[in-house]
């Protein structure tokens, strides 16, 4: 329920005409809302909504990616070098990453953002927000280099095409914290054992991932694990 469906090809008109539930779900498939939010907005049972989305995935109309948040961490994959060599892919990347009503950004700006997403020896994994802050700081008073970049869409393009992979944060309750401390944040201690990822827990509590982190900071240590490089099929 915490995965986000992204429409990657049109759904046939005959299928839409024949399936009312499908029409209800597709209205809310915007590349930002996770399945639980879609079910709530459509007034559907979550299980029914998941069945519809599963059918769309099997038909190749939808891909499931992680719930986006500016505080997410990502890692670039070995395929990033292919993007650097393909003018066609670069054009697709820039076009997909444009802000509404703005010209397409320079590909090199999006590529610079992708290249920032790697672990640091001094601060660990860099979030998207931190990477954007670094790029803006390097502009040294010049125009915002990300002005024309829709950051969420640029990350979405990278994930769907396997240039990027998500790095999940798994909170683990600190030994000094009691189970009662965990209950104060709204989660049982068994969910804070380092095996449940951040977006899963945020979805369960109906919180943003930033709000979840604020609630758990001081109680938990954060363990980071990158998704496998083949976790999403190339669709765009």
The structural domains of the chain, ordered by start, are 3-66 (1.10.10), 73-165 (no CATH), 168-226 (no CATH)
Average pLDDT over residues 129-156: 89
Give the model confidence (pLDDT) of 96-140 as tens digits: 999 988 999 999 999 999 998 887 766 678 889 999 999 999 887
Judge contact between 156 and 74, C-beta under 8 A. Answer: no
Per-residue model confidence (pLDDT) at position 88: 96
Per-residue model confidence (pLDDT) at position 85: 94
Per-residue model confidence (pLDDT) at position 61: 87
Per-residue model confidence (pLDDT) at position 128: 92
Of 8-17, 122-131, 213-222, which range is least confident? 8-17
Does position 1 have pLDDT exceeding 80, yes or no?
A: no
pTM higher than 0.85: no
The neighbour count for residue 7, using CB atoms within 10 Å, is 15
Percent of the chain with pLDDT over 90: 28
Does position 235 have pLDDT exceeding 60, yes or no?
A: no
Highest mean pLDDT among 55-59, 61-65, 83-87: 83-87
With bands split at pLDDT 50, 70 and 90, how would you rate the model's confidence at 234?
very low
Q: How far apart, in whole angstroms, are the C-alpha atoms of residue 111 and residue 226? A: 20
C-alpha triplet 90, 26, 110: angle, nearest 5° = 20
Per-residue model confidence (pLDDT) at position 153: 93
Does position 236 have pLDDT exceeding 50, yes or no?
A: no
Does position 12 have pLDDT exceeding 90, yes or no?
A: no
How far from each other are the two terminal CA atoms of the chain, in whole angstroms?
A: 23
Strand-pairing partners, residue 76, are 164
Judge contact between 128 and 155, C-beta under 8 A. Answer: yes
Checking phi first, is residue 51 left (phi over 0); if not, alpha (psi -120 to 50) or beta?
Answer: alpha
Of 34-48, 120-134, 176-190, which range is least confident? 176-190
């Amino acid at each position: 329920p915490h995965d986000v469906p992204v429409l990657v090809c049109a759904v046939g008109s005959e299928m839409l005409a024949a399936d009312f539930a499908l029409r209800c779900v597709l209205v809310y498939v915007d590349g930002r809302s996770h399945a639980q939010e879609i079910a709530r907005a459509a007034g559907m049972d979550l299980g029914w909504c998941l069945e519809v989305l599963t059918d769309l995935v099997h038909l190749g109309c939808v891909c499931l990616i992680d719930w986006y948040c500016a505080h997410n961490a990502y890692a670039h994959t070995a395929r990033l070098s292919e993007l650097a060599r393909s003018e066609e892919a670069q054009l697709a990347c820039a076009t997909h990453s444009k802000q509404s009503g703005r010209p397409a950004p320079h590909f090199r700006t999006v590529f610079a953002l992708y290249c920032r997403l790697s672990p640091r020896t001094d601060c660990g994994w860099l979030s998207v927000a931190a990477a954007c802050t670094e790029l803006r700081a390097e502009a040294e008073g010049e125009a915002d280099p990300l002005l024309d970049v829709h950051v969420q869409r640029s990350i979405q393009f990278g994930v769907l095409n396997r240039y990027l992979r998500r790095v999940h944060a798994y909170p683990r309750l600190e030994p000094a914290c009691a189970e009662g401390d965990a209950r104060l944040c709204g989660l049982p201690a068994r969910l804070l054992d380092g095996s449940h990822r951040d977006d899963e827990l945020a979805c369960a509590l109906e919180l943003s991932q930033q709000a979840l982190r604020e609630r758990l900071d001081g109680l938990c240590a954060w363990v980071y694990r990158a998704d496998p490089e083949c976790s999403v099929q190339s669709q765009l």
